[in-house]
């Protein structure tokens, strides 16, 4: 029995490989871009080996080694922290306050800053740390 195969010309453009290339470019773009925003304030964060996702809507509350307080890269006085945070929380009360404190800051000052932040009405806090590999510390 002889089977005859008919040879047909391909009249359509092969878009499958084109979509694969576009998908790979999109994937590369998503992986190579950084979604974490860091402020320009010099803070040496303490190390941590666990990874936690950063929230999309947040307020950065920074305490430097020189006892300076910044809210979203704007310097504020210690006494003005609750009022300034309250202004930012009025628009979206579900925002998370990300506390970025230098590792050399005494815990007593961080607790005082958290108490001031609680006076603004927020109860959602996140402590920022640097993620380091366990092998690099050994």
Residue 71 confidence (pLDDT) above 80: yes
Asked whether 44 and 127 are in contact (CB, 8 A), the reply is no
3-state DSSP assignment of residue 118: helix
Asked whether 55 and 96 are in contact (CB, 8 A), the reply is yes
Domains delineated in the chain: 47-137 (3.30.420.270)
What gap in Å lies between CA 69 and CA 81, rounded to an integer?
8
Cα first-last separation, the chain = 73
Q: Which pLDDT value is given to residue 12?
A: 64
Q: Which pLDDT value is given to residue 135?
A: 47
Judged by average pLDDT, the poorest of 18-22, 33-37, 62-66, 107-111 is 33-37
pTM for this prediction: 0.55
Q: Which residue has the higher pLDDT, 127 or 49?
A: 127
Per-residue model confidence as pLDDT tens digits over 12-61: 666 667 788 888 888 887 777 655 555 566 666 666 565 555 545 788 88
Average pLDDT, the chain: 76
Residue 10 confidence (pLDDT) above 70: no
Calculate what percentage of the chain has a pLDDT beyond 90.
1
């Amino acid at each position: 029995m002889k089977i005859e195969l008919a040879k047909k010309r391909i009249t359509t453009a092969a878009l499958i490989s084109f979509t694969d290339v576009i998908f790979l470019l999109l994937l590369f773009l998503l992986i190579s871009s950084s979604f974490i925003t860091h402020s320009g304030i010099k803070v040496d964060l303490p190390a941590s080996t666990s990874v936690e996702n950063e929230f999309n809507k947040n307020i950065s509350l920074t305490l430097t080694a020189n006892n300076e307080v910044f809210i979203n890269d704007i310097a504020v006085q210690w006494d003005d922290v609750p009022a300034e945070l309250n202004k930012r929380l009025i628009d979206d009360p579900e925002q998370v306050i990300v506390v970025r404190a230098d590792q050399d800051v005494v815990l007593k000052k961080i607790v005082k800053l958290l108490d001031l932040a609680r006076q603004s009405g927020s109860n959602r806090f996140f402590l920022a740390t640097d993620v380091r590999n366990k092998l690099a510390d050994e």
